[in-house]
Chains A and B, each alone.
Chain A
């Protein structure tokens, strides 16, 4: 029977993980599929998984009353979605919605947290990868916040 092992092993996010760690991950992984408009998770819900997007596009949104959902980021093929499963109180801070048919590998956060407690080597490897991803997203968010294309950023105003 075909397992998710080769898919995870080949993914850049998990590159360099020991085969036995990959096998531990596979034990917490499942294939999922979302139709356009379907939510992968919603703000305030328990964050008990993260996703490796295999195909499709997902928007990370925040809902603003009177304005509706505002998209703050989109993720696509190859991207990893969600890190709230790793940080207490394990609650999603945003909504994630499929913009088109999306297929992903979902990794059960609760299951993974247990395995990381048992195997600190796996925990450290995963933390390194998620720290890199979080730093990357933080940097991108900072650039977005700078509003570099706004008129106030123009050097010369003639």
Chain B
């Protein structure tokens, strides 16, 4: 069944009008990989930041160029700063990659329904990310580590194209060094100087230590990767109602009015981007959607 939208803790717009962007200042623009960068923002007006739930997204507006939906990848317990990891693939995001400290950007949001982190309390938490899909899941990792005792085993499985495409490398190493988190990383291709795993991320599922019957899985990545991952999770015995996927479509308005991000009977910006697998399973294989 569809999950209902949680009431936002606060609005970040200067008015209640969700179409009006609030101005934020670029505090830092750091390169992650050859085509991906992370911007850190602080509110220009110096007022309260942005309370968001893990998995929600903002509409980032580069004035004069365009607006893009980008997941929030920062720490939810630090709302004074907004952090977004962006892949430079089109006109707007390529222009954003050139932003410098002090530049201004417009932000609307946060929008959508995020990951069921509170519902996962008491369960093994299995986080599976592919490529830039790690960005919307990083807030979950932050939260899980801050409230580590709330969960059973915490497992992060991460797949990337090559070792050079891995996001948040230092953090990955830090998380892997912990004794209470299992971190498995794989890449699709590598030269022989790579000492880690090579193969698809779905192959890590069988190797990870978690109790499938008492696990909640949160999956984000390309849609093909999520389909195969969900199949593999079910094969291992994870109930389909415990698998969550984050969907991506052409989000525009962010509030379920324009219809650009319609998927079947839902608008992803409003009913998603995070869905329970059993709710969207049939839609994933329907080509017209």
Question: Once the chains bind, are B197 and A74 in contact (CB under 8 Å)?
Answer: yes
Contact of A149 among B161, B190, B197, B198 (CB under 8 A): B161
Question: Once the chains bind, are A149 and B92 in contact (CB under 8 Å)?
Answer: no
Question: Once the chains bind, are B207 and A76 in contact (CB under 8 Å)?
Answer: yes
| Closest chain B residue to A75, Cβ basis | B199
B222 at the interface (CB under 8 A from A): yes
Count residues of chain A with CB under 8 A from any CB of chain B.
Answer: 29
Question: Once the chains bind, are B91 and A158 in contact (CB under 8 Å)?
Answer: yes
Contact of A154 among B66, B89, B192, B200 (CB under 8 A): B89
Question: Most chain-A CB neighbours within 10 Å: which of B196, B198, B225?
Answer: B198
Question: Which residues of chain A are near B191, meaning CB under 8 Å?
Answer: 67-71
Contact of B130 among A59, A72, A149 (CB under 8 A): A149
Question: Once the chains bind, are A156 and B250 in contact (CB under 8 Å)?
Answer: yes
A57 to B257, CA, bound (A): 52
Question: Once the chains bind, are A156 and B248 in contact (CB under 8 Å)?
Answer: yes
Question: Once the chains bind, are A149 and B203 in contact (CB under 8 Å)?
Answer: no
Question: Once the chains bind, are B202 and A140 in contact (CB under 8 Å)?
Answer: yes
| Closest chain B residue to A144, Cβ basis | B188
A155 to B203, CA, bound (A): 25
Question: Once the chains bind, are B199 and A73 in contact (CB under 8 Å)?
Answer: yes
A122 at the interface (CB under 8 A from B): no
Question: Once the chains bind, are A72 and B189 in contact (CB under 8 Å)?
Answer: yes
A153 to B189, CA, bound (A): 17
A136 to B222, CA, bound (A): 20
| Closest chain B residue to A61, Cβ basis | B192
> B197-217 vs A: 1/0 string, CB under 8 Å?
111101100010000000000
Question: Once the chains bind, are B248 and A149 in contact (CB under 8 Å)?
Answer: no
Interface residues of A in 55-112 (CB under 8 A from B): 59, 61, 67-74, 76, 78, 99
A148 to B130, CA, bound (A): 9
A143 at the interface (CB under 8 A from B): yes
Shortest C-beta distance, B12 to chain A (Å), equals 21
* A-B contacts besides A140-B199, A151-B35, 14 pairs, CB < 8 Å: A68-B191, A68-B192, A73-B198, A74-B199, A76-B207, A99-B195, A139-B228, A144-B200, A148-B221, A149-B132, A149-B165, A149-B222, A151-B87, A156-B249
Which residues of A come within 8 Å of B, CB atoms? Answer: 59, 61, 67-74, 76, 78, 99, 139-140, 143-144, 146-151, 153-158
Query: What are 10 A-B interface contacts by the 8 Å CB criterion?
Result: A59-B198, A68-B191, A78-B207, A147-B161, A149-B130, A154-B87, A154-B89, A155-B248, A156-B250, A158-B92
Q: What 9 pairs across the A-B complex have the smallest Cβ distances?
A: A149-B131, A157-B90, A149-B161, A148-B222, A158-B90, A69-B192, A158-B68, A71-B198, A158-B92
